[in-house]
Amino acid sequence: MTSDFSKYTDYKTILSVNALIWCDGKVLLLKRSKNKKIDPGVYSGVGGKVEPHESFYDALLREIKEETGLTEFESIKPYSITQHPYPPTDSEWVNVYFNVTIKEQVKIPPSEDGSFDWIDPKEVISLPMVADLKEYIGILSENVNAFIFGFFDNDKSGKPIGKSVKIL
């Protein structure tokens, strides 16, 4: 019996990393520039795409350094793997999310990516924010040891049509 692997090899998978950087009970969030093509003007964590032949860990360190200048951390722990199928582009984003803690809150200057703010997790609910992170910060503020499997689906026009969040 011959298997047809074209549905796998013709589908694009985009790997990315994202960090929630914590210090003194607050989380460092990026308010994305209004000029960004993806999620303009909303709050997100720090991160981006994993480059070819780059590990998730190395991509995480690179993205944090590029966006914030930070290079020293007290801890780094994964807290989620999340899938975002995006049919209009025949691609799927696979995001690995990390909690990162640092010793003291630092002021990060604005950049072309946007501006950074230290936010109390209780305030996240009222912020314009990417949907998965808003939900995840709520989960993590109640259970710092939670591990989350997320699946956020979209229709062919890119409109969100469903989600599944499993907490271990």
Name all domains of the chain by residue range, CATH numbers in brackets.
12-167 (3.90.79.10)
Output the pTM of the full model: 0.91
Q: Which of 16, 167, 15, 19 is nearest to 98 (CA)?
A: 19
SS (H, E, C) 56-106: HHHHHHHHHHHHHCCCCCCEEEEEEEEEEEEHHHCEEEEEEEEEEECCCCC
Instruction: Note the pLDDT tens digit of each residue in 63-91.
Output: 999 999 999 999 999 999 999 987 777 78
Say what percent of the chain tops pLDDT 70. Answer: 98
Would you state the pLDDT for residue 86? 78
pLDDT band at 2 (very low <50, low <70, confident <90, very high): low
